Amino acid sequence: MNYYNNNVDKIKRLVTIQNIIDRYGYKPKKGFISCPFHNEKTPSLRIYTDTNTFYCFGCGMGGDVISFVAHLFKIDFGSAIMRLDDDFGLGLCKQSESRRRDLDARWKEIQSEKEKIDNLKKMYKDHYYVVSCWFRTLWLQRKRLAPKTSSEKLNPAFIYALHHTDYLEYWLDTYNTFEKWKEVYG
């Protein structure tokens, strides 16, 4: 127990929450990052550099540098201490080569999953944008080409717009969030 207490105090003194955020590739905007512990559109995890802590207003996760690393890598408290010691070269504890490989493999797995989600989110935004533009174009075409009288001949472009705007509107309503889109296309 003494081993943990000594290292916990040293780590909390030597490693700041800002060091953690920078080291693991997060780019805070006005003190907020997208929470790595749940999916979200708007960054809700607040970084408190004055107290060296964090809190997510989306999922309620909060804590210090050690708990951030433990949750980020899905490892226990002791492993988080060793990970911080190793990543920041503190030299507080020695870990076996196999333990280091396990942690590195877990980190690569987490980074790969994060990259996959980021790519899917970009694909969703692109897909949603294209469908939105197509819907808007057809909706305007439908309004512009609508017959003025009941005897006027229907323009084929008007008929095309009639057939497709309802479907596109349904698609936009159905897949209005990344999570819904991901269930089908991800």
Check whether 119 has a pLDDT greater than 50.
yes
Which DSSP category does 155 fall into?
P
pLDDT-based confidence at residue 33 (cuts at 50, 70, 90): very high
Check whether 101 has a pLDDT greater than 80.
no
3 state SS of 80:
helix
Which DSSP category does 56 fall into?
E
pTM of the prediction?
A: 0.52
Q: Which residue has the higher pLDDT, 93 or 70?
A: 70
Check whether 117 has a pLDDT greater than 60.
yes
Strand order in the sheet with 62-63: 32-33, 45-48, 53-56, 62-63
- Which of 51, 54, 73 lies closest to 62 in space, CA to CA? 54
3 state SS of 186:
coil
Residue tagged 């949750």 (tokens):
71
